[in-house]
Structure 1
Amino acid sequence: MSFMKIPVIEARTAVRGVLLSALLVGCGNGTSGGRPDTPPPEAWKTLNGEAPLVTGHRGASGYLPEHTLASYTLAIEQGADFIEPDLVATKDGHLVARHEPEISTTTDVASKPEFADRKTTKTVDGVPVEGFFASDFTLAEIKQLRAVQPRSYRPQDQNGKYEIPTFEEILALAKQKSAETGRAIGVYPETKHPTYHADIGLPLEDKLLAALEQAGLTGPDAKVILQSFEVGNLQYLRQKTSLPLVQLIDADGVALDGKITLAPPFDKPYDFAKKNDPRTFADLLTDEGLSFVAGYADGVSPWKRYIVSAQGVDADGDGEADDVNGDGSVDDADRTSLAPTDLVARAHAKGLFVHTWTFRSEAMFLAGDYEASPATEYDVFYRLGIDGVFSDFPDEAVKARARLGL
């Protein structure tokens, strides 16, 4: 495999130092199963020695419908350092915050008879997807929709109350809340499915940079981090901006023994798949892969199981993880956390900060040995030296960070 570096703009190194010293980032030294009452480490073991960053994942999406101004506001009120908008494009070229281009699970579009004829099937990252797509709606039409909570086990009482925000509205909110709170609120946008958007004539990157430029968020003091699961668009952005860039790292899941599994479309950046590049997401986390990433990005953001995985139990020998707690489903609560990998240390050695995702407080997302305590999971990752976490429940992440008392 050939990991060829691309040219990097000269301002990058200087800006990285300024930006990273302004960001809250993470540390730690621990093993799986650590408990919040364990004495705190003597110092943060993050890349810059400061506290780990807390980003409200889609806002405070554990409490309110995701990607709404209300959800972002709540995350800020709960102490999040950054808020994270996922960006997709409308038919008329506006950037709005939705987790996917397909919007039927996160809006009430399916209940709108006037839009019934917009239901269609499109191919996203090589997979046919049926539903309603933001790219088939103008911004004016998107503004007629309201957000809904896509996860049935979370509160549904706020469904239908909130508009779909534009990127500009989110930037304005961060500016307003920064003034109100006296602390700089960062914005951590993700370009969603950039190849898909480019293929339909709605590329995201220049629109993103134009919005940031208009908001005055392009210089070394801007509290903005840009992220993507694809590589090519980050390389393009590297030539256009000195803002920190982050390579997201996905996976399909974990095997019974806790090993990461890779299956399309979660096995590799889709731009790699499209050009038959054999490298997988896991390849980008080898020493060679991290050197490649460091050629265009400032940080790497892997799924948390690359850092601390969890293994299942197969008492009946069928090769499948058992429902250990007998709740009728097999999830993280039926697994036991494994010893951490050395990924954080290896990435730090390449000069890359490490953010990881997604932290959720429901028991089904917590390894069984954490005993349904999200505080325990945060404690484990913070002690490992993680530079930042994405959380659906930013208040829990902030409290866990504060408890270490550094």
Structure 2
Amino acid sequence: MSPRVHSTRQKMKTNKKIVIAHRGASGYLPEHTMEAKAMAFAMNPDFIEQDLVLSKDNIPVVIHDIYLDDVTDVATKFTVKKRKDNRYYVIDFTFEELQTLRVSERFNPKTSEQFYKNRFPKGKGNFKLHSFEQEIELIQGLNKSTGKNIGIYPEIKDPEFHKKEGKDLTKIILKTLADYGYKNKQDNCILQCFDAKELERIRVELKSELFLVQLMEFPEEVKNLQHFATYANGIGPWYKQLLDKKVDDKFTFTSLVAGAHKLGLKVHPYTFRADALDEFSSFEEMMQTLLIDASVDGAFTDFPDLVVEFLN
């Protein structure tokens, strides 16, 4: 696969509220499949997300987790590769072996039950895993053929696990990005990670000039905002970290967005799902509350078409 560097360098759209297609159009098609990415592209988000894990032969694979058994039929095909914890790991398979698996809608490996009941039926269709390079080529190719400028939003998944397995996932991803013309903040790429030490390493030790987003999942991380601002350009909190309580039917908010904005950090919360509303009475209420009332800068969503339509 020969890397084709993008010659038309367009500025990244970070001054408006951006829509990030979370694992593609994952509300409609199995997450992180090429079909979900092509559908997402047609919905005109600003960015499409890629979660990245390494195969045994060091190929970055687009899949949400280091495990295979909750999105593929691996348990019926490679029983010998199960580890002691009864899980199947991407890192134990060559890319060629991974290509033989069938991808399906996310399910519970213990009960085989589909996670989101009303999404694409589990076990139907003929979906496959693919590499990061293949996805970049799809998105860059579609940008060329449609005249659009949709960016990529890769996530480095569990770098510590990869290090224990003797692999430097981050270095491989940075090289792939550079090969395809993603090198600095102007290039249409945002790189994210939950591991704060690793994201800081990307900026300080590996000297990356990309736009970096520090993902957050725990309330106590809020006190690290000032430190995050020394190496990151934005934060990606769980949306519940922004909500305080409801007063007279209106949500009040924590100080997270205001604190981040004061430090010059963009805020891209996850995940806006029309079929998992929790404290909201409708998807419209969720979008209005978080995108408008809470003043965030963008959103990760399984339903990019609905968020694009709302913002328009």
The reply to whether TM is greater than 0.5 is yes
Structure 2 regions of 5+ residues with no counterpart? 1-8, 107-114
1:356 to 250, 262, 269: 269
Cα gap change, 1:388 to 1:247, in 2 (>3 Å):
same
State the 1:388 CA deviation.
0.9
Is 2:169 aligned against 1:204? Answer: yes
How far apart in 2 are the matches of 1:246 and 1:157?
32
Question: Aligned to 2:268, what secondary structure does the other structure show?
Answer: strand
Corresponding position of 2:63: 98
Higher relative contact order (CA 8 A, sep 6+): 1
How far apart in 2 are the matches of 1:346 and 1:97?
33
State the 1:221 CA deviation.
3.4
Cα gap change, 1:158 to 1:70, in 2 (>3 Å):
farther
TM-score normalised over the length of structure 2 = 0.88
- Residue type of the alignment partner of 2:100: Q
How far apart in 1 are the matches of 2:266 and 2:185?
17
How far apart in 1 are the matches of 2:123 and 2:210?
35
Question: Aligned to 1:359, what secondary structure does the other structure show?
Answer: coil
- Residue type of the alignment partner of 2:299: V
Cα gap change, 1:63 to 1:158, in 2 (>3 Å):
farther
Is 2:279 aligned against 1:386? Answer: no
State the 1:69 CA deviation.
1.0
Question: Aligned to 1:22, what secondary structure does the other structure show?
Answer: coil
State the 1:295 CA deviation.
1.0
TM-score normalised over the length of structure 1 = 0.68
How far apart in 1 are the matches of 2:47 and 2:172?
21
Cα gap change, 1:310 to 1:83, in 2 (>3 Å):
farther
How far apart in 2 are the matches of 1:220 and 1:134?
30
Structure 1 regions of 5+ residues with no counterpart? 1-17, 25-49, 122-128, 252-281, 312-335
How far apart in 2 are the matches of 1:159 and 1:350?
47
Corresponding position of 1:249: 216
Corresponding position of 2:6: none
Question: Aligned to 1:184, what secondary structure does the other structure show?
Answer: coil
- Residue type of the alignment partner of 1:234: L
Corresponding position of 1:171: 136
Corresponding position of 2:12: 22
How far apart in 2 are the matches of 1:80 and 1:375?
18
How far apart in 2 are the matches of 1:366 and 1:399?
22
Corresponding position of 1:235: 200
How far apart in 2 are the matches of 1:133 and 1:71?
23
1:295 to 230, 234, 259: 230
How far apart in 2 are the matches of 1:164 and 1:89?
12
Corresponding position of 1:130: 86
How far apart in 2 are the matches of 1:75 and 1:143?
22
Q: Any conservation in 1 of the 2:184–2:211 contact (CA below 8 Å)? A: no
Question: Aligned to 2:48, what secondary structure does the other structure show?
Answer: strand
State the 1:22 CA deviation.
2.6
Q: Deviations over 1:73-128 (max 9, x none)?
A: 1111112111111101111111101111111111111121xx1100113xxxxxxx
How far apart in 1 are the matches of 2:201 and 2:229?
14
Q: Any conservation in 1 of the 2:245–2:253 contact (CA below 8 Å)? A: no
Corresponding position of 1:327: none
Is 2:110 aligned against 1:120? Answer: no
2:150 to 185, 188, 195: 185
2:180 to 215, 218, 224: 215
How far apart in 2 are the matches of 1:342 and 1:228?
22
Corresponding position of 1:318: none
How far apart in 2 are the matches of 1:382 and 1:291?
23
Number of corresponding residues: 290
How far apart in 2 are the matches of 1:168 and 1:120?
28
How far apart in 2 are the matches of 1:147 and 1:359?
23
Percent identical residues: 34
State the 1:158 CA deviation.
6.7
State the 1:309 CA deviation.
4.9
Cα gap change, 1:218 to 1:158, in 2 (>3 Å):
farther
Corresponding position of 2:277: 365
Write the mapping of 1:156-167 to structure 2, written as runs, cut at 5 A: 156=121, 159-167=124-132
Question: Aligned to 1:216, what secondary structure does the other structure show?
Answer: coil
